[in-house]
């Protein structure tokens, strides 16, 4: 009995030693894999940052955008997160990209130009018509007090809300609905921006613009122009045409 007990103890010890050795090896291997993944993420992050910096310099600053708050925002926001994965490698190039549902993310320069035209100081409440990917809302949220944004395509509204929440934007409020009706509950707005083109300026949005406020929007059907609207303190509407543009049409609700 004593001999058998010794044999059992030795067998148990051998099994225990193998288990410990294998466990240590497994932990070490897992740690190595985790470290490799972290290295890859860091490399990816560095690569994206370099592309963001180049985009801001060559497409925005070199074209005359002088507002440092805008350039800082666009250099910090991960634009590649706002497009389908298959387009991520193209997102820092000079042009718009599809985001699904016949909608697009605007060219970086146009985002910067329209944002600069709003003359933001940091305290404004902004209404955005056409949330789309959520990128323009993110740029605005980095600069102004609050952003109320409306999207008529429900899947885009939901995707944008999820992403903006994930990125920590607590001052962006998204609503699925008809942009032609604006968002009366939070009116009037200091600034209004449209990222889709109506054939003419929606009167409801002019009403929701605060006296002394500014609106920027593309207008037209076949031929579109970017228009800057100022509402004087007395309520007078002043219009200025900036440049020719090409946006997706603004869709009316049923």
Helix (H) or strand (E) holding 126: strand 125-129
* Ramachandran assignment for 134, one of left (phi > 0), alpha (psi -120 to 50 degrees), beta (any other): left
Task: Report, as residue numbers or ranges, the catalytic residues.
Answer: 106
Among candidates 191, 201, 6, 173, which has minimal Cα distance to 117? 191
Residue 65: Cβ-neighbour burial (10 angstroms; 0-12, 13-18, 19+): buried
- Mutual orientation of helices 135-143 and 154-166 as an angle, nearest 10°? 40
Burial of 52 (0-12, 13-18, 19+ CB in 10 A): buried
- Check if the beta carbon of residue 125 is closer than 8 Å to that of residue 190: yes
Q: Quick check: 209 and 126 in contact, CB under 8 A?
A: no
């Amino acid at each position: 009995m004593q001999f058998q007990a010794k044999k059992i103890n030795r067998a148990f010890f051998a099994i225990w030693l193998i288990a410990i050795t294998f466990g240590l090896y497994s932990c070490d291997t897992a740690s190595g894999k985790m470290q490799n993944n972290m290295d890859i993420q860091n490399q990816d992050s560095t690569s994206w940052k370099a592309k963001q910096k180049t985009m801001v310099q060559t497409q925005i600053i070199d074209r005359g955008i002088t507002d440092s708050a805008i350039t800082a925002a666009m250099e910090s926001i991960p634009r590649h997160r706002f497009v389908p994965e298959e387009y991520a490698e193209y997102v820092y190039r000079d042009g718009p990209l599809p985001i699904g549902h016949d909608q697009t993310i605007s060219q970086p320069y146009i985002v910067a130009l329209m944002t600069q035209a709003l003359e933001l100081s940091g305290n404004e409440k902004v209404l955005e018509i056409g949330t789309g990917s959520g990128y323009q809302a993110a740029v605005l949220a980095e600069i102004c007090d609050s952003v109320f944004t409306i999207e008529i395509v429900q899947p885009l509204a939901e995707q944008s809300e999820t992403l903006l929440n994930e990125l920590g934007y607590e001052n962006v409020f998204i609503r699925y609905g008809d942009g032609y009706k604006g968002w009366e509950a939070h009116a009037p707005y200091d600034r209004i921006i449209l990222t889709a083109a109506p054939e003419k300026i929606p009167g409801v949005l002019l009403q929701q613009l605060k006296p002394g406020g500014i609106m920027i929007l593309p207008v037209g059907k076949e031929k579109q122009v970017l228009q800057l609207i100022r509402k004087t303190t007395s309520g007078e509407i002043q219009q200025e045409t900036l440049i020719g543009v090409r946006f997706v049409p603004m869709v009316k609700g049923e």
